[in-house]
Chains A and B, each alone.
Chain A
Amino acid sequence: MPSLKDLKNRIESVKSTRKITKAMQMVAAAKLRRAQDAAEMSRPYTEKFNAVMGKLAASVGDSDSAPRLLRGTGSDDVQLLVVMTAERGLCGGFNANIAKKARAEAQKLLAEGKTVKIMTVGKKGRDALKRDLGDHFIHHVDLSEVKNVGYADAQAIASDILARFDAEEFDVAKIFYAKFENVVSQIPTMQQVIPFQVDEAAAEEADEAGVVYDYEPDEEAILADLLPRGVATAIFSALLENGASEQGARMSAMDNATRNAGEMIDKLTIEYNRSRQAVITNELIEIISGAEAL
Chain B
Amino acid sequence: MAETVHFDLVSPERRLVSADVTEVSIPGAEGDLTAMASHSPLITTLRPGLVKSVGADGEAEYVVTGGFAEIDGETVSVLAERAIPRDEITQEQFKELVDEAKAKLSKAQETFVNEPGPVDDAAKLLSDMVAMGTHIGLYTD
A interface, CB within 8 angstroms of B = 38, 41-42, 44-46, 48-49, 52, 55-56, 150-151, 154, 211-217, 221-222, 225-226, 229, 232-233, 236
- The CA of A212 and the CA of B13, in the complex, are separated in Å by 30
Instruction: Given A41-B15, A225-B68, A229-B81, decide whether A216 and B10 contact each other with a Cβ distance below 8 A.
Output: no
CB within 8 Å for A48 and B79 given contacts A215-B44, A225-B68: yes
Q: Considering residues A44, A49, A221, A222, which has the most beta carbons from chain B within 10 angstroms of its beta carbon?
A: A44
Within 8 A of A (CB), among B79-97: 79, 81-82
B contact residues around A46 at 8 Å (CB): 12
A100 to chain B, nearest CB (A): 29
Whole-angstrom distance from the CB of B128 to the nearest CB of chain A? 14
Contacting A151 at CB < 8 Å: which of B8, B11, B15? B11
1/0 contact string of B69-85 vs chain A (CB within 8 Å): 01010000101011000
**Chain B contacts for A52, CB-based, 8 A:** 43, 68, 70, 79
Contacts of B82 in A (CB 8 A): 151
CB of A32, distance to nearest CB on chain B (Å): 18
In the assembled complex, how far is the CB of residue B76 from the closest CB belonging to chain A, in whole angstroms?
A: 12
Q: 26 interchain pairs (CB within 8 A)?
A: A41-B13, A41-B14, A41-B15, A45-B10, A45-B12, A45-B15, A48-B8, A48-B77, A49-B79, A52-B43, A151-B11, A151-B12, A151-B13, A154-B12, A213-B70, A213-B72, A214-B41, A214-B42, A216-B29, A217-B30, A217-B44, A217-B45, A229-B67, A229-B81, A232-B12, A236-B12
**Closest 10 interchain pairs by CB?**
A216-B44, A151-B12, A41-B14, A213-B41, A45-B10, A214-B42, A44-B10, A45-B12, A44-B15, A211-B41
Contact A222 B45 (CB under 8 A): yes
Q: Which of B22-81 contact A (CB under 8 A)?
A: 28-30, 40-45, 67-68, 70, 72, 77, 79, 81
Give the residues in chain A near B29, CB-CB below 8 Å.
Answer: 216-217
| B79 in contact with A213 (CB, 8 Å) | no
Least CB distance, B31 to chain A, in whole angstroms:
8
Q: With contacts A42-B12, A44-B15, A211-B72 known, is A216 near B30, CB below 8 A? A: yes
Chain B residues whose C-beta falls within 8 Å of the C-beta of A233 in the assembled complex: 12
- CB contacts (< 8 Å) of B40 on chain A: these are 214
A-B contact count (CB 8 A): 75
Cβ–Cβ contact A225 & B12, under 8 A: no
Chain B residues contacting A151 (CB-CB under 8 Å) are 11-13, 81-82
Residue among A48, A55, A225 making CB contact with B45, cutoff 8 Å: A225
Cα separation A42 to B81 with both chains bound (whole Å)? 12
Given A45-B15, A52-B43, A215-B44, 6 other A-B residues pairs in contact with their CB atoms under 8 A: A41-B15, A44-B8, A56-B43, A211-B41, A214-B42, A229-B81
Q: Tell me whether chain A's interface is mostly helix, strand or loop, or mixed.
A: helix
How many residues of B sit at the interface, in one of the four size bands? 20 to 34
Which residues of chain B come closer than 8 Å to A56, judged between CB atoms?
43
Q: Tell me if A48 and B43 are in contact (CB < 8 A).
A: no
CA A216 to CA B10, docked complex, whole Å: 20
Q: Which of A41, A45, A213, A226 touches B42 (beta carbons < 8 Å)?
A: A213
**Bound CA span A225–B67, Å:** 9
Measured between beta carbons, the chain B residues less than 8 angstroms from A221 are 45
B13 lies within 8 A of A42 (CB): yes
Residues in A whose Cβ lies below 8 Å from that of B44: 215-217, 222
Q: Tell which of A154, A216, A225, A229 has the most Cβ of chain B within 10 Å.
A: A216
Chain A hits for B30, CB < 8 A? 216-217
Query: Which residues does chain B contribute within 8 Å of A150, judged by CB atoms?
Result: 13
Contact B15–A214 (Cβ < 8 Å): no
